[in-house]
Amino acid sequence: MFFRGQTIGKYRILSSLGSGGFGVVYLAEDTWIDKKVALKVPHKQNLDSVEMLKEPRLLASMSHPNIVTVLTAEKQDDVFFIVMEYVPGETLEHIIVQEGILDLTRALDFSCQICNAVDHAHRAGILHRDLRPGNMLVSESGMLKVTDFGTSRYLEIAAHGTTVIGSPPYMAPEQFHGKAVFASDIYSVGVTMYQMLTGTMPYDTPAPADIARLARGELLSSPRIRNPKIPKAINDIILHAMAPDPIERYQRASELLNDLLAAREPAPRRASRRGGTATADATVAEIQSRLKARETPPARFCWHCRKPLHARADRCPFCNESQ
Residues labelled catalytic: 140
Residue 268's CB: how many other CB atoms inside 10 A? 5
Q: How far is CA 256 from the centre of its chain?
A: 11
For CA atoms 165, 217, 114, 310, the dihedral sign is positive
CB 131 within 8 A of CB 103: no
DSSP 124: T
Q: Say how far apart CA 238 and CA 33 lie, in whole Å.
A: 44
Q: Which residues contact 256 (CB under 8 A, 6 or more apart)?
A: 115, 186, 189, 237, 240, 241, 250
Q: What's phi and psi for 7, nearest 5 deg?
A: -110, 125
